[in-house]
Chain A
Amino acid sequence: MFEVFKTIFLAIPKGLSVTFKYLFTKAITVRYPEQKLTLSPRYRGLHYLKRNEDGSEKCVCCGLCAAACPSGCIYMEPAEDEFGQRYAKVYEINELRCIFCGYCQEACPKEAIFLGKEYEFSNDQREKMIYKKEDLLVSIFGQRMKRPDARTGPSGGVRPDEHSG
């Protein structure tokens, strides 16, 4: 009987005291999506593929990112362009499978692939989460080229290395 008493009159106020203590401090949560947090400079979000200064793709499709990837989410097919240069005919990242470890960025010998700061790219269709090369490539100025999905997905014109969210 005493045990029950102890639970009701001692433990519950003790627990609630924490609640009431935080009730009068500044809110920790933010009003997402109106309000957004500043990300850590080392945050790893959606991938992007860089270009050279002359506009050509940096990626030569060497396959090291795919070899380094622990979740096996990168698929690529190399080919030869009209200058005899090796390039990625197909370059796909399955963002559903990706664990954003950043190994691909680390493995890349050409400094072509980076993980940006975008994290708002959820989708209601699985196939749209497989990002093609066109979706990943940025312009010479580092801006997203394409807006594959109007509502979600990487938005055209934004800089994936600066833009958060």
Chain B
Amino acid sequence: MVTLTIDGKQIIVEEGTTILKAAEKLGIEIPTFCYHDQLETVGACRMCLVEVEKIPKLQVACATVVSEGMVVRTDSPQVVNARKGVLEFLLINHPLDCPVCDKGGECELQNLVFKYGSDKSRFVEGKRRYIVDPKSKYDDLAIGPHIIRNMNRCIQCRKCVRFINEIAGEDDLGTFKRGSKTEINILPDIPIDNPYSGNVTEICPVGALTSKSFRYKIRVWQTEAIPTVCPQCADGCNIRIWKKDERIYRITSRRNDEVDEGFLCDKGRFGFDFVNHPDRLKNPLIKKNGKLSEAPWDETIKFVTSSFMKIKGETGSDSLAGVGSGKVTNEDNYLFQKFFRSVIGTNNIDHRVDSKNLLPSPDTQIRNKYFGMKNTINQIANSKLILVLGCDLEKEHPIINLRVIKARRKGSSILVANPVSTRLNRFAQNGLLYKQRTETDFLNGVLREIIETKQYDNAKSGFSSSEIEDLRRKVSSSDSLKALQTTGIGAENIKSFVNALVKAESIIILCGAEIISNPKNVEIINSLYDLIRLTGHQDKDNSGVNLLWKHSNSQGTLDCGILPDRLPGYVRISGKPGLNFNLMLEAVNQGKIKAMYIMGSDPLSEYPDREYVKSTLGKLEILLVQDILITETAKIANVILPGASFAEKEGTFTNVEGRVQKLNKAFDPLADSKADGQIICLLAQAMGHEFEYRTPKDIFKELTGVSPIYSGMDWETLGLSKKQGKVK
């Protein structure tokens, strides 16, 4: 530990800390341009110069390591003068076109010049221009589908290039030429289109890199930033919605080091068009004479409830079924299952419409194999070996992909096994391609190699010798030997794969949608657990098998009991469990189910057998679809209820690692649409039940009381503190 004084205040910090970090702890702000704590320090901008006693020259705070008894001044006249000088040099070539620059109002250069700079320029010479088109006065250049570059404004901090190289692990942005001619550019005719390119617009301290979608739309001070959670994938990145009136203008990151580390993927950053899309459902629709026509809410509610009551009265409550979704909030899902269990009186509820092969439901007490993630997202970066199996991580979970790249940067090995080559393979020590549906054979081959070569850890694995013998017999049978041939992976590859596995100090296995919806999903997951045990990692912190769900709230939907055999919190149902989605379809075909209520799901697009679903759902007497857009399923529905998008409602999402995070409402639901929870309340009230919830907060409160895994969570502090909201 080192003691030092900054601006007269004493602080004790760890050895190796920089002055900038120490000042940050004291709450003293030192201005920077090129510094970013996730990137390597370069000390290029000289903005963070501070005075250190006994050193004649000013030192850069971002790169100077503290030493015992150091006395630092960040506000002496010399420092202020230096800042003024650095800014004057930067402004020699900065065009000062703030009126047209999209960064205006949140520009670091603008703020610092306002604070420290001079209001007069001493330079009369012309400013440097990077001419893109000699005929044009403007030097804007689109360097990718999302990014526009204006090199005149650039102050050469190179944060963008460093981000692309270090964090995203790409090389499609670089620095060309030298000195005052330095240019940030792409390679000729290779636009920057990696899934993290949008981050450079947020990282850029000036307006040199701006986003196309936000270009000349609005000034930032006219908008309002609403903190919420990204709805695109299960990673649950924290975002800010920048809105004015009822329109989203852009989305930026709201840094949460436990989840996203301040980065977003382009899908999350630019994929918000659906909220203000003209095709959004605005009114309830009822099918009359084969045509969907608009109807008022009270008439629609009356029609739905009377037909539900009629079907319930005629053939019993089990002739109704509900399909929830991983895209709506926990509160909506909780109300949905409550509506079906208490108002209708059936357990026919499911949300897994994208697969014919369902995993067994987990239990409350035992966090069993089919639960989700065993590790946290942060632990991925600390693991020594990461095995990605059946998952295109960059497309499915871009932010988890960044952690894998981070682990690679720290020196971990990456193993990838997929039916098709993914972009993560370029980092993989071993990138294997197996033939589709041969995952089990491949894993058996790996297990056999470990057992046969006696590379397993007998003491730590906890396997008895008879268990090992059973496993050996299973994986070494002639069938499995023959099957290994069909995987398309050679014995040599398996050997090097196993070598890497047994040497690693910790193993994290990430499985994607390919594994979760696999016909042999249970078998594969069991093999993976055997693998973890054989290598002796089953009780380690940074090791485990992780299933990565697809939708933003898939984990929460499971937690809230949208399962035919579990109540919220995975409490077992005492009586007979209901039907899952596959059985529901069979029951519809047998005429046992007459009405279905689909909230937020689109089985027609998601289910593997589209024609079968289409013909089956067509047989229903009542198909009620609640969604925000006319989905494929909504097109064949009898009644459509317009729901609200993620920006239009409050609620909570549970991300893939079980972190419960709060969504905030940016504006009211569009036109005559209503929040999903409100619609369910209206239906329940029309059927004579008391669903009196004023806000989603009331629903969440009830949920924390009912669900053992959500108990103790507090709505007010949810998502504020780091620890809270994590499912145990």
**Is A110's beta carbon under 8 Å from chain B?**
yes
**Is A78's beta carbon under 8 Å from chain B?**
yes
| Residues of chain A contacted by B136 (CB below 8 angstroms) | 83-84
**Interface residue ranges of B126-168 to A (CB < 8 Å):** 136-138, 140
Contact pick for B100, options A62, A66, A67, A83, CB 8 Å: A62
Q: Is the CB of B218 within 8 A of A78?
A: yes
Q: Is the CB of A63 within 8 A of B222?
A: yes
B56 nearest CB across to chain A (Å): 42
Interface magnitude class on chain A:
10 to 19
**Is A96's beta carbon under 8 Å from chain B?**
no
A103 nearest CB across to chain B (Å): 16
**Is B215's beta carbon under 8 Å from chain A?**
yes
Bound: A77/B249 CA distance, A: 13
**Interface residue ranges of B104-144 to A (CB < 8 Å):** 104, 136-138, 140
Q: Is the CB of A109 within 8 A of B99?
A: yes
**Is B98's beta carbon under 8 Å from chain A?**
yes
Q: Is the CB of B138 within 8 A of A83?
A: yes
Bound: A99/B96 CA distance, A: 31
**Is A85's beta carbon under 8 Å from chain B?**
yes
**Is B57's beta carbon under 8 Å from chain A?**
no
Q: Given that A78-B218, A80-B216 are contacting pairs, would A64 and B99 also be in contact in the complex, using a CB cutoff of 8 Å?
A: yes
Chain B residue at smallest Cβ distance from A63: B219
**Is A145's beta carbon under 8 Å from chain B?**
no
Bound: A19/B456 CA distance, A: 117
Chain B residue at smallest Cβ distance from A77: B218
Bound: A62/B104 CA distance, A: 9
Q: 1/0 per position for A59-102, CB-CB distance to B under 8 A?
A: 01111101100000000011110011110000000000000000
Q: Is the CB of A84 within 8 A of B140?
A: yes
Contact pick for B221, options A60, A67, A86, A109, CB 8 Å: A67
Bound: A77/B100 CA distance, A: 13
Q: Is the CB of B98 within 8 A of A62?
A: yes
Q: Is the CB of A110 within 8 A of B221?
A: no
Bound: A77/B222 CA distance, A: 11
Q: Is the CB of B100 within 8 A of A86?
A: yes
| Residues of chain A contacted by B219 (CB below 8 angstroms) | 62-63, 67
A65 nearest CB across to chain B (Å): 11
Q: Is the CB of A84 within 8 A of B138?
A: yes
Bound: A64/B216 CA distance, A: 14
Chain B residue at smallest Cβ distance from A108: B99
Chain B residue at smallest Cβ distance from A81: B216
**Interface residue ranges of A30-82 to B (CB < 8 Å):** 60-64, 66-67, 77-80
Q: Is the CB of B216 within 8 A of A86?
A: yes
**Is B217's beta carbon under 8 Å from chain A?**
yes
B419 nearest CB across to chain A (Å): 44
Bound: A64/B217 CA distance, A: 15
| Residues of chain B contacted by A61 (CB below 8 angstroms) | 216
| Residues of chain A contacted by B99 (CB below 8 angstroms) | 60, 62, 64, 109-110
B375 nearest CB across to chain A (Å): 46
Q: 1/0 per position for B596-630, CB-CB distance to A under 8 A?
A: 00000000000000000000000000000000000
Bound: A78/B244 CA distance, A: 14
Q: Given that A62-B98, A64-B99 are contacting pairs, would A78 and B216 also be in contact in the complex, using a CB cutoff of 8 Å?
A: yes
B172 nearest CB across to chain A (Å): 23
| Residues of chain A contacted by B221 (CB below 8 angstroms) | 63, 67
Bound: A61/B221 CA distance, A: 14
**Among A60, A83, A84, A109: residue with most chain B CB under 10 A:** A84
Chain B residue at smallest Cβ distance from A85: B138
Chain A residue at smallest Cβ distance from B104: A62
| Residues of chain A contacted by B137 (CB below 8 angstroms) | 83, 85
Chain A residue at smallest Cβ distance from B141: A84
| Residues of chain B contacted by A62 (CB below 8 angstroms) | 98-100, 104, 219
| Residues of chain A contacted by B222 (CB below 8 angstroms) | 63, 66
Q: 1/0 per position for A8-27, CB-CB distance to B under 8 A?
A: 00000000000000000000
| Residues of chain B contacted by A86 (CB below 8 angstroms) | 100, 216
Chain A residue at smallest Cβ distance from B139: A84
A73 nearest CB across to chain B (Å): 15
Bound: A76/B215 CA distance, A: 15
Chain A residue at smallest Cβ distance from B97: A60
Q: Is the CB of A60 within 8 A of B100?
A: yes
**Interface residue ranges of B14-31 to A (CB < 8 Å):** none
Contact pick for A109, options B98, B140, B216, CB 8 Å: B98
Q: 1/0 per position for B212-243, CB-CB distance to A under 8 A?
A: 00011111011000000000000000000000
| Residues of chain B contacted by A66 (CB below 8 angstroms) | 222
Bound: A85/B216 CA distance, A: 9
Q: Is the CB of B215 within 8 A of A80?
A: yes
**Among B99, B140, B215: residue with most chain A CB under 10 A:** B99
B541 nearest CB across to chain A (Å): 51
B207 nearest CB across to chain A (Å): 12
A57 nearest CB across to chain B (Å): 12
| Residues of chain B contacted by A110 (CB below 8 angstroms) | 99
Bound: A62/B222 CA distance, A: 11
| Residues of chain A contacted by B100 (CB below 8 angstroms) | 60, 62, 85-86
Bound: A109/B217 CA distance, A: 19
Bound: A117/B136 CA distance, A: 37
Bound: A66/B222 CA distance, A: 10
| Residues of chain A contacted by B215 (CB below 8 angstroms) | 80
Bound: A67/B221 CA distance, A: 9
B62 nearest CB across to chain A (Å): 33
**Among A61, A79, A86, A109: residue with most chain B CB under 10 A:** A86
Bound: A86/B217 CA distance, A: 10
**Interface residue ranges of B198-215 to A (CB < 8 Å):** 215
Bound: A62/B207 CA distance, A: 14
B212 nearest CB across to chain A (Å): 10
| Residues of chain B contacted by A63 (CB below 8 angstroms) | 219, 221-222
B94 nearest CB across to chain A (Å): 15
Chain A residue at smallest Cβ distance from B132: A84
Q: 1/0 per position for B486-524, CB-CB distance to A under 8 A?
A: 000000000000000000000000000000000000000
**Interface residue ranges of B61-100 to A (CB < 8 Å):** 98-100
| Residues of chain B contacted by A64 (CB below 8 angstroms) | 99
| Residues of chain A contacted by B98 (CB below 8 angstroms) | 62, 109
| Residues of chain B contacted by A60 (CB below 8 angstroms) | 99-100
Bound: A100/B705 CA distance, A: 59
Bound: A110/B216 CA distance, A: 17
Chain A residues in contact with chain B, CB under 8 A?
A: 60-64, 66-67, 77-80, 83-86, 109-110
- Write 19 A-B pairs (CB below 8 A) sorted by A numbering: A60-B99, A60-B100, A62-B98, A62-B99, A62-B104, A64-B99, A67-B221, A77-B218, A78-B217, A78-B218, A80-B215, A83-B136, A84-B136, A84-B138, A84-B140, A85-B100, A86-B216, A109-B98, A110-B99
Given contacts A77-B218, A85-B138, 16 further A-B contacts (CB under 8 A): A60-B100, A61-B216, A62-B99, A62-B104, A62-B219, A64-B99, A66-B222, A67-B219, A78-B217, A78-B218, A80-B216, A83-B136, A83-B138, A85-B137, A86-B216, A109-B98
The 8 closest A-B pairs by CB, nearest first: A62-B99, A63-B219, A86-B100, A78-B216, A60-B100, A86-B216, A80-B216, A109-B99
